[in-house]
Amino acid sequence: MQFGIIGSGSWATALAKILTDNGNTIHWWVRNEETVRYMGKRRHNPHYLHSAYFDLDQLQLNTDITEVVSLSDVLVIAVPSAYVEDALKQLPKEALKGKKIISAVKGILPSSNQLLNEYLESTFGLVIEDYFTVLGPCHAEEVAAEKLSYLTFSGVDETMAVNIAAHFKTEYLNTLVNHDVWGVQYAAVLKNIYALGAGIAHGLEYGDNFLSVYIANSANEMVGFLRKLSEDAHKESPNYASSVYLGDLLVTCYSLYSRNRTFGNMIGKGYSVKSAQLELNMVAEGYNASKCIHTLNVDVKAEMPIAATIFEILWQNLPAAEEFKKIETFLV
């Protein structure tokens, strides 16, 4: 199997480390020529995960995305959701034919309100049997430090999902497999919204006792949304207490590595959205996700008062302190 990676951020770099530690040679699309030159000389990403060093014999770095795609059997797409369409726009319509796609995208494409598989189907004709997801709970920083982590690979073709997952299993990385392609993606979207809210609560100086109640209610709200989707699709609901759902929510809400939590903390402390974005200098997926889920829920009609409140704080400029006072009244 020839692996290709699209993207060069922290999560893309972590996945590249996992694959190369497992002996795989990878084709890696990096947008910036200067970054390619730096990595070719210094053996690490100049912008992210500086402690992750690579064997250059295992890296085929390239600024030509079309060439990376053509040389790869399996493509890992690991760019922020807001930039996916821009990254892939130069590919011809038939470029993904016969390829297996692994989504490491943790958001909805904001311009179209689509999951990545929906966008790839409508734009490139990708069939769902060739689409897989890789999700946490797993922080890139802990992968770089080789702290034991878990990844879940989802696909309707579970045999191929098992095969793909085997290429990522290392001494510091355990892999799991499920078939809930839509559910795990929406769970990843929602946990970023709730983590952003957890950061707001921290910035407003709520304590751990409140935060535990807030997260428990967020988990319940997330499950309600996912079950509503499953009912609408006539699908059996999976175990939402497992790591890819509840575990990912917990670590994103609590961890200091979480950029969504950090972004929310700034909002809670009084930063404007624009100021927080400039200060963070990284993409907090929960910001766009809150608007996307607000729009989607017009049709889904799940009970989502926490997600709705966070949307109002971020997109309607309502005061965070006043809105969290309202949240206090309906938590159980």
* pLDDT for residue 238: 85
Rounded Cα distance, 248 and 246, in Å = 6
Residue 79 sits at φ, ψ, to 5 deg, of -120, 155
**Start-end of H helices in 255-304:** 259-268, 273-280, 285-300
The tally of CA atoms less than 13 A away on the side-chain side of residue 85 is 15
The Cβ-side half-sphere exposure at 3, using a 13 Å CA radius, reads: 25
Q: Which residue bears the tokens 């889920």?
A: 293
DSSP secondary structure, 115-184, as one string: -HHHHHHHHH---GGGEEEEE-S--HHHHHTT--EEEEEE-SSHHHHHHHHHTT-BTTEEEEEE--HHHH
Q: What is the pLDDT of residues 197-240, one digit of tens each?
A: 999 999 999 999 999 999 999 999 999 999 988 765 445 678 89
**pLDDT of amino acid 235:** 55
Pull the structure tokens for residue 221.
Answer: 């709200």
- In whole angstroms, what is the distance from residue 126 CA to residue 100 CA? 9
Question: Among residues 121, 113, 116, which one has the least CA distance to residue 96?
Answer: 121
Q: pLDDT > 70: what percent of the chain?
A: 98
Q: What digits encode the pLDDT tens for the residues 153-170?
A: 999 999 999 999 999 999
Question: Please, what is the average pLDDT of the chain?
Answer: 94
> Residue 268 corresponds to which amino acid?
G
Q: What is the pLDDT of residues 30-42, one digit of tens each?
A: 999 999 999 999 9
Question: What is the per-residue pLDDT for 234?
Answer: 43
For residues 290 and 237, the answer to whether their CB atoms sit within 8 Å is no
- 182-330: what CATH class? mainly alpha
Query: For 281-329, how does the pLDDT look when each residue is reduced to its tens digit (9 = 90+)?
Result: 777 889 999 999 999 999 999 999 999 999 999 999 999 999 999 999 9
For residue 131, give the amino acid letter: Y
| CATH number for the domain whose boundaries are 3-179 | 3.40.50.720
Per-residue model confidence (pLDDT) at position 86: 94
Rounded to the nearest 5 degrees, what angle is found at the Cα of 218, between the Cα atoms of 215 and 222? 140
Q: Residue 15 pLDDT more than 80?
A: yes
Task: Reply yes or no on whether the pLDDT at 123 is more than 50.
Answer: yes
pLDDT at position 196 is 97
* pLDDT for 283: 76
Q: Where are the domains of the chain?
A: 3-179, 182-330
